[in-house]
Each structure stands twice: as C-alpha cells, then as structure tokens.
Amino acid sequence: MYLSFLVACTDVLGLLYLLGKKETLPKNLVTWAHRIIFVGLLGMILTGVTMVIPMREYLLSQPNFYVKLAFVLALFINAFVIGIHMKQTFTTPFKQLPRNEKRKLIVSGAVSTLSWIGAILGGLYLF
C-alpha cells in the first residue's frame, strides 16, 4: 500500500517535470524514492515466487498470470532505465533536453505507469 502511494507520487512528480510545471526534480527525494521502489519491487517478486510455488499448476494454466509476469518484467527492466535517465532531471529542465532524451523519459514514464496498473489488475483477475 505504501509502495503504491510512493509510486503514484513519483509518477506525478515525473509528469509535472514533463509538463514543465517543475523545472528540475529534487535529487535526494527522487533517488531515495527510486531505491525504495526498487527494493519494494524486488520484495514483491520474491514473495510472489513463494506464493506461486504451491499454486503453480493452476497459475501456469492462467493467461492472466503470464500477462502479470510481463508487466512485472517490464517494471524490473524499466527500473534500470529510470536509474540511468533520472540523473538529467536533477539539473536540466525537460524543455532543454534533446528530443531523443525527452522520448526516453516519456516512454519510461508511460511504461512505469501502465505496468504498475497492469500488474495490479493482472493479479486481481487471477482468482
């Protein structure tokens, strides 16, 4: 629950940056939030594995399970992408970034938001 709130807050902060409402992002806050979210995601993956083992026959027969796994994989990969590209948001306003860097941030933000929503909905529709 707290992790979901933190993810929503950072996604909103990122959106404000993309829209030019925040010129730059606070380095300490964003770095701290990114680390907490990444550790939380790892924790969710590890606890998810322990929950899957006793129910693997059922879950492996459910298409929604594979959809959820795809969203979680996207989140995991995107965490590294965000870690690489967030550094420029601390010093450079979005409007001053080169077009290809803007595109990377927009795509990464969209992947984050859609994958968190998809992973949650995928889990809800498994049972």
What is the domain partition of the chain in residue ranges? 2-124
* Contact yes or no for 31/4 (Cβ under 8 A): no
Q: What pLDDT does residue 3 have?
A: 86
Residues whose CB is less than 8 angstroms from the CB of residue 31 and which lie 6 or more positions away in sequence, other chains included: 86
Q: What pLDDT does residue 127 have?
A: 63
Q: Structure pTM?
A: 0.87
d(CA 15, CA 6): 14
Tell me the per-residue pLDDT of 28-56, one tens digit each, with 9 for 90 and over. 999 999 999 999 999 989 998 998 899 99
pLDDT at 1 over 80: no
Share the mean pLDDT of the chain.
92
Q: What is the CA radius of gyration of the chain?
A: 16
Residues 28, 24, 84, 79, CA torsion sign: positive
